[in-house]
Amino acid sequence: MRSLVKVAKIFGVLLLASASVLASPNPSPADDRTSIVVVFKDGHHQSFTSAEIARIDLKAPAAIVYKDGRREKLSADIDRIEFAPAEAATMPGRPHFVGKWEVGEGNGGKFIITLDADGSARKTLGSPHGTWTFVDGQARISWDDGWQDVICKVGSRYEKRAHGPGTSFDDTPSNVTAARNMHPRPI
């Protein structure tokens, strides 16, 4: 009987210990992955791990103040401040896609896609005119001949995904090739 009481006490202590760990106000490592993303007027991004930040001073000069007391000045050309998971902090913005992109044709050849700031698109192969929009970190291009292309970041590189007439951007692409920004801008 004494051993049964002893086991019950040990079980109770373990149960209380696990409950206190679960109720702990300290964030888990998954919670530490949230970032604050500062988006500048020229379209580039700068991200900061929110777990390290004590405050953001917006008086001139704007600055990030870290918990260890260190300050980092920010450019006065801030467009907005976003709160996002860390993986989203490296996602390119719309201005990053404006310009000329060298892309593969699917059969080994290359051609140029030009994306203009006004939403118009041109290419040096096939139907030369189209329009483009920025959706979920991707440039989505609709060509006058019914084809659709997506230029997107995959890891540290870019891809062009081609979708044939009658298919949508959500369908499996007809082909996938490398894409290279000919005049890269900071993300």
Please report whether residue 106 resides in a domain: yes
Instruction: Please tell me which residue, 99 or 33, carries the higher pLDDT value.
Output: 99
Distance CA 115, CA 54 (A): 40
Residue 40's domain spans which residues? 31-90
Query: Domain check: are 100 and 172 in the same one?
Result: yes
Element (H, E) at 63: strand 63-66
CATH number (domain holding residue 82): 2.30.30
The region of weakest confidence among 26-30, 99-103, 135-139, 180-184 is: 26-30
Query: Domain check: are 159 and 125 in the same one?
Result: yes
For residues 109-130, give the mean pLDDT. Answer: 93
Query: Domain check: are 107 and 161 in the same one?
Result: yes
| The last residue of a domain, from among 63, 90, 117 | 90
Tens digits of per-residue pLDDT, 50-80? 677 777 777 777 777 778 887 877 766 776 7
| Cβ neighbours of residue 139 closer than 8 Å, sequence gap 6 or more | 97, 115, 132, 133, 150, 151, 152
What pTM, to 2 d.p., does this model score?
Answer: 0.53
Please report whether residue 161 resides in a domain: yes
Could you give the number of structural domains in the chain? 2
pLDDT of 162: 94
